[in-house]
Amino acid sequence: MTAPGDVAKGSGAPPSGREYPPRPIVGVGGVVFVGGRVLLIKRRFEPLAGRWSLPGGALELGETLAEGLAREMKEETGLDVVVGPVVDVFDRITRDDDGRARFHYVLVDFLCSVRAGAAVAGSDVAEVALVEIGDLASYDLTPKTIEVIGRARGLASGA
């Protein structure tokens, strides 16, 4: 049984306090390439529940961006990562039928490299996949996610 405001595991509902927030929430995401493939996760919770995306999550009080991303990567994928340069900073706002901001995240995505571990689905993740760049279209990614992956590829190749 869950208390009011809590979320039953696997319900698809967002973690408590993230829906209709009083202010934007800072989120971090990681772009990881392994052997030319990019790491994707299928989200278990809103926003984007059931959709493929980059791993990451909300920053906790007292964490730096890099600390929060390293924690989220470990929780979601089992990977210990080295957090590299910023790839992009943007808003992800999901509005309800009345136009109210149901979710509002300010997202900071970083290029990361794997220090240790093997990719496995963790706490907020239904599945993980290492995907060939040419196969991204079959994962129904948001246009922004595809753009971020492209920018990260440029950074990783030194372009």
How confident is the model over 5-31, as pLDDT tens digits? 333 334 455 556 789 999 999 999 999
pLDDT of residue 47: 78
pLDDT of residue 70: 98
Task: Report whether 110 contacts 28 (CB < 8 A).
Answer: yes
Give the DSSP letter string of 53-122.
E-SEEEPPTT--HHHHHHHHHHHHH--EEEEEEEEEEEEEEEE-TTS-EEEEEEEEEEEEEEEE------
The yes-or-no answer on residue 127 being catalytic is yes
Among residues 60, 76, 127, 132, the one annotated as catalytic is: 127
Pairing relationship of beta strands 25-34 and 101-116 according to DSSP bridges: parallel
pLDDT of residue 49: 86
Q: Which domains does the chain have, with CATH numbers?
A: 33-157 (3.90.79.10)
- Counting as low any pLDDT under 50, the low residues of the chain are 1-11
pLDDT of residue 148: 98
